[in-house]
C-alpha cells in the first residue's frame, strides 16, 4: 500500500479534543489545508439522473439566491413562492446549486414550502479553496403546494463564520417544471379516486436501451406518481427552523390535526437526521462500558435508535433511519469529492395511514406524534401529511378491519473486559393494519404490513484501539388495495436493506493528542420494489478505505480511496461506477444497459 502525498499544513489553532476518548470513539473531524490556487472542486453524491433530466423544462423559476454567513441562532431565510404564470406542468424538480468560498464545517440544511419540508440536505466539509455542488430532487409529490401562490419558502442553513472557518455558503434554489403527457397530475383532481386502479401499462423491455431512462410506469401508490391533493405539515414554529429538536429518548413531539372529511387516502412522510452526540449512534458501546472503564460518555446509550410514529399515542410505525454520514464524519477524506450515500438528499420515510381513516374521519382533532427511542441530543425531525381528497358526491366513510398492535422485541448482549469486548443488539418489529374506505370510487380495503429487523454488533479489540461495527437493517413493506369483491387493484411491495460496516484502528502518535486512524467502511442501500406490473431493484454500494493523522479533531494528513457502484434494474436500467482517490475522481462511468443475470 502506498500513500501518495496528500499532506495538509498545520494551522496554529488546535481545537479541543472531543470528550469521548479513547480515540476510536471519536468520529467527527475537520480538515485544515492552506488555500492554494486551485479552483473550487465539485462534490457529488453518486445517484442516477432523474428521468426528466434529458427533457427541456416548460418553465424554470429561480426561487432563492442567498449567501449563508454567520447564521448561528438566526431563523430561516424566507422568500415568497408563486408558480410561474401560464406554465403547464406535471412534474417538478428542485435544483439546489451551492458553493462555499472558504474552509468550513459540514452543515445541515433544509428547504420548506409553507412549513412542509421538501428537502433535507447537508453541505460538504470544504477546505480553503472552497467547493461547489448540485442537488436535484423530484418534488412532484409536493405539487399541491407548488401550484399555490404566495406561499412562504424557507431555507435553514446554520453556519458560523470565524477567523479559521471563513466559508460562506452561497445557495441558489431553482424549480424546474416539466410537462409530461399521461402524468396523473394533469388530470383534474375530481376524478382522482379512480387513480387507485392499476395503470393499463405493461413494463417495456429495457434491453439495449441507450440514452437516459424514460419516465417509469405509473403506480398510484407512489407519491411521486400520484401526488396528494393536500399536504399538512407537522412541524415546529419556525424561529429555529420548522424541524422539531429531539434531545432524549423521553422527548416526544406532537401536533393536533383535523383532516378533511373527504379524505380517501393518507400517507405520512417523515424527515429525520441525527447530530451532536447522536451523529454516530450506530457506533456506540453501551453506557456500562464507559462507566466501568471510568470514561466520559457523551455519545453512548448503545447502538440502537428507532424513530417512532404515533397516532393518538399508539405507535403505528417506526423506522431505523439510514446511517447518513456527513462531510466531516468518520474520515473526512473519504468524502472528497464523493459524499456519503444520502448526504445531499437525505431519505424521507413514508407510512401509509389509509387503514386509520375510520379513526381519523370523525371530524375531531387527532394527535400525530414522534419520538426517537434512546435518543441523545439531538435529532431534527418533522413530517408532511399527504392527503388525497374525494370531490365526488358521496361522503367518504371508513372503518377499521384489523389493527395488529405493533409487536416488538429487543435483545441486548454485552460482554467485555476493560476496554475490549463485544456488544450485540437485535430488534424486530412487525405490524399489520387493515381498513376500508368507501369513496365515490367505491369501497376499497387497504392492508399494510411492515416488518423491521435490526442487528448491530460493536467489537473492541487491542485495548479499545480497534473497533468493528456491523449493522444490518431490513425493512419489508406491503401495501395492497382490494375492491369490494376482493380483487386486488393496486399493490406495492418494498424490501429495503442497508448494511453498514466500519473497521477502524487508532494508534497514538508521538506528539500529544495525535493519533493515526486507519479505517475501512462499507455502506449500502439494497432496494426491491414490486407493484404487480413491474419490478425495480437498486444496489447502491459505497466502499471507502484510508488513513489519517489527526490531532484532536483536526486532520493533519492522510490518504483515502472511495469507490461506489450504483445499479438500478427494472423496466429501465442504469449503472454508474465511480472511483475517487485522494480527493480526485479517477473514473466515473455510466451505462443504460440491462443485465440478463443479476450480479
Among 11, 40, 58, 102, binds ligand NAG (CB under 6 A): 102
- Please say which residue, 234 or 494, places its beta carbon nearer to ligand NAG: 234
- Asked whether the bond before 378 is cis by omega within 30 degrees of 0, the reply is yes
Among 37, 150, 596, 598, binds ligand NAG (CB under 6 A): 150
Among 5, 72, 188, 200, binds ligand NAG (CB under 6 A): 72
86 binds ligand NAG (CB under 6 A): no
**432: β partners:** 404, 449
User: Are the beta carbons of 569 and 598 closer than 8 angstroms?
Assistant: yes
431 binds ligand NAG (CB under 6 A): no
Among 30, 99, 121, 562, binds ligand NAG (CB under 6 A): 99
Near ligand NAG in 441-470, by CB under 6 A:
443, 445, 463
| Cβ atoms within 10 Å of 546's Cβ, excluding its own | 23
C-alpha cell belonging to residue 49: 439522473
Least distance from ligand NAG to the Cβ atom of residue 380, Å: 16
Q: Of the ranges 72-80, 187-195, 210-218, 447-455, which one interacts with ligand NAG (CB under 6 A)?
A: 72-80
C-alpha cell belonging to residue 422: 463485544
Among 11, 17, 59, 194, binds ligand NAG (CB under 6 A): 17
Least distance from ligand NAG to the Cβ atom of residue 499, Å: 30
292 binds ligand NAG (CB under 6 A): no
Among 214, 238, 499, 532, binds ligand NAG (CB under 6 A): 238
**27: β partners:** none
Least distance from ligand NAG to the Cβ atom of residue 431, Å: 20
Query: What are the distances in angstroms from CA 394 to CA 229, 238, 266, 337?
Result: 17, 38, 18, 55
Least distance from ligand NAG to the Cβ atom of residue 572, Å: 30
Among 68, 379, 438, 592, binds ligand NAG (CB under 6 A): 438
67 binds ligand NAG (CB under 6 A): yes
DSSP 291: H
| Cβ atoms within 10 Å of 261's Cβ, excluding its own | 14
Among 46, 353, 419, 469, binds ligand NAG (CB under 6 A): 419
Task: Name which of 286, 427, 414, 433 is nearest 353 in CA terms.
Answer: 433
| Cβ atoms within 10 Å of 51's Cβ, excluding its own | 18
Least distance from ligand NAG to the Cβ atom of residue 419, Å: 6
* CA 246/CA 278 separation, integer angstroms: 11
172 binds ligand NAG (CB under 6 A): yes
Task: Name which of 545, 546, 547, 528 is nearest 536 in CA terms.
Answer: 528
C-alpha cell belonging to residue 118: 421538501
Q: Of the ranges 65-73, 195-203, 309-317, 562-570, which one interacts with ligand NAG (CB under 6 A)?
A: 65-73
* CA 34/CA 407 separation, integer angstroms: 55
Q: Of the ranges 95-103, 341-349, 402-410, 555-563, which one interacts with ligand NAG (CB under 6 A)?
A: 95-103
| Cβ atoms within 10 Å of 512's Cβ, excluding its own | 10
- Please say which residue, 65 or 595, places its beta carbon nearer to ligand NAG: 65
Total binding residues toward ligand NAG, as defined by CB under 6 A: 41
239 binds ligand NAG (CB under 6 A): yes
- Please say which residue, 9 or 484, places its beta carbon nearer to ligand NAG: 484
* CA 433/CA 104 separation, integer angstroms: 47
C-alpha cell belonging to residue 496: 429495503
Least distance from ligand NAG to the Cβ atom of residue 537, Å: 34
Near ligand NAG in 375-414, by CB under 6 A:
397, 399
Query: What are the φ and ψ backbone dihedral angles of 189, each rounded to 5 degrees?
Result: -60, -25
Least distance from ligand NAG to the Cβ atom of residue 269, Å: 21
- Please say which residue, 448 or 494, places its beta carbon nearer to ligand NAG: 448
Cβ-based burial of 85 (10 A; exposed 0-12, middle 13-18, buried ≥19): exposed
SS3 of 29, please? coil
154 binds ligand NAG (CB under 6 A): yes
SS (H, E, C) 91-150: EEEEEEEEEECCCCCCCEEEEEECCEEEEEEECCCCCCCCEEEEEEEECHHHHHHHCCCC
* CA 159/CA 77 separation, integer angstroms: 12
Cβ-based burial of 363 (10 A; exposed 0-12, middle 13-18, buried ≥19): exposed
Residues making contact with ligand NAG (CB under 6 A): 14, 17, 22, 65, 67, 70, 72-73, 75-78, 97-99, 101-102, 149-150, 154, 160-162, 166, 168, 170, 172, 238-239, 397, 399, 419, 436, 438, 443, 445, 463, 484, 512-513, 552
Amino acid at each position: 500500500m502506498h500513500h501518495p502525498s496528500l499532506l495538509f499544513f498545520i494551522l496554529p489553532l488546535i481545537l479541543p479534543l472531543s470528550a469521548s476518548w479513547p480515540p476510536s470513539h471519536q468520529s467527527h473531524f475537520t480538515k485544515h489545508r492552506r488555500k492554494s490556487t486551485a479552483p473550487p472542486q465539485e462534490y457529488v453524491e453518486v445517484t442516477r439522473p432523474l428521468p426528466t433530466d434529458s427533457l427541456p423544462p416548460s418553465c424554470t423559476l429561480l426561487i432563492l439566491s442567498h449567501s449563508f454567513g454567520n447564521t448561528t441562532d438566526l431563523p430561516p431565510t424566507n422568500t415568497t413562492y408563486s408558480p410561474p404564470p401560464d406554465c403547464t406542468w406535471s412534474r417538478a424538480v428542485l435544483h439546489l446549486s451551492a458553493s462555499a468560498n472558504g474552509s468550513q464545517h459540514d452543515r445541515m440544511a433544509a428547504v420548506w414550502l409553507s412549513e412542509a419540508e421538501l428537502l433535507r440536505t447537508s453541505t460538504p466539509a470544504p477546505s480553503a479553496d472552497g467547493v461547489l455542488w448540485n442537488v436535484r430532487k423530484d418534488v412532484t409529490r409536493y405539487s399541491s403546494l407548488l401550484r399555490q401562490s404566495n406561499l412562504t419558502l424557507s431555507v435553514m442553513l446554520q453556519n458560523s463564520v470565524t477567523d479559521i472557518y471563513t466559508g460562506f455558503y452561497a445557495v441558489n434554489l431553482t424549480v424546474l417544471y416539466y410537462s409530461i403527457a399521461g402524468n396523473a397530475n394533469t388530470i383534474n383532481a375530481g376524478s382522482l379516486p379512480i387513480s387507485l386502479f392499476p395503470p393499463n401499462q405493461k413494463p417495456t423491455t429495457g434491453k439495449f436501451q441507450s440514452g437516459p431512462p424514460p419516465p417509469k410506469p405509473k403506480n398510484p401508490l407512489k407519491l411521486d406518481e400520484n401526488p396528494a391533493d393536500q399536504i399538512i405539515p407537522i412541524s415546529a414554529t419556525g424561529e429555529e427552523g420548522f424541524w422539531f429538536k429531539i434531545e432524549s429518548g423521553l422527548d416526544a413531539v406532537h401536533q393536533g390535526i383535523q383532516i378533511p372529511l373527504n379524505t380517501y387516502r393518507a400517507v405520512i412522510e417523515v424527515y429525520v437526521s441525527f447530530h451532536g452526540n447522536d451523529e454516530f449512534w450506530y457506533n456506540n458501546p453501551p453506557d456500562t462500558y464507559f462507566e466501568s472503564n471510568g470514561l466520559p460518555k457523551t455519545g453512548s446509550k448503545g447502538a440502537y435508535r428507532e424513530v417512532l410514529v404515533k397516532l393518538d399515542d399508539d405507535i403505528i410505525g417506526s423506522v431505523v433511519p439510514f446511517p447518513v454520514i456527513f462531510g466531516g464524519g468518520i474520515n473526512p477524506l473519504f468524502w472528497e469529492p464523493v459524499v456519503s450515500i444520502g448526504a445531499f438528499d437525505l431519505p424521507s420515510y413514508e407510512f401509509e395511514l389509509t387503514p386509520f381513516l375510520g379513526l381519523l374521519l370523525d371530524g375531531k382533532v387527532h394527535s400525530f406524534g414522534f419520538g426517537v427511542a434512546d435518543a441523545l441530543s439531538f435529532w431534527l425531525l418533522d413530517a408532511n401529511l399527504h392527503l388525497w381528497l374525494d370531490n365526488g358526491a358521496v361522503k367518504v366513510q371508513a372503518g377499521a378491519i384489523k389493527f395488529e398492535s405493533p409487536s416488538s422485541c429487543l435483545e441486548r448482549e454485552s460482554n467485555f473486559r476493560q476496554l475490549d469486548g463485544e456488544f450485540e443488539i437485535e430488534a424486530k418489529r412487525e405490524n399489520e393494519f387493515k381498513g376500508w374506505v368507501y369513496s365515490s370510487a367505491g369501497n376499497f380495503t387497504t392492508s399494510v404490513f411492515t416488518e423491521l429487523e435490526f442487528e448491530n454488533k460493536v467489537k473492541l479489540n487491542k485495548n479499545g484501539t480497534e473497533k468493528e461495527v456491523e449493522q444490518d437493517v431490513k425493512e419489508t413493506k406491503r401495501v395492497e388495495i382490494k375492491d369490494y369483491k376482493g380483487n386486488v387493484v393496486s399493490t406495492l411491495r418494498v424490501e429495503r436493506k442497508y448494511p453498514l460496516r466500519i473497521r477502524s484502528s487508532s494508534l497514538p502518535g508521538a506528539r500529544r493528542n495525535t493519533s493515526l486512524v486507519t479505517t475501512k467502511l462499507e455502506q449500502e442501500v439494497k432496494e426491491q420494489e414490486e407493484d404487480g406490473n413491474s419490478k425495480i431493484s437498486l444496489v447502491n454500494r459505497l466502499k471507502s478505505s484510508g488513513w489519517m493523522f489527526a490531532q484532536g479533531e483536526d486532520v493533519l494528513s492522510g490518504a483515502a480511496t472511495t469507490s461506489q457502484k450504483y445499479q438500478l434494474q427494472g423496466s429501465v436500467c442504469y449503472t454508474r461506477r465511480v472511483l475517487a482517490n485522494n480527493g480526485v475522481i479517477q473514473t466515473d462511468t455510466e451505462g443504460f444497459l440491462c443485465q440478463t443475470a443479476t450480479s
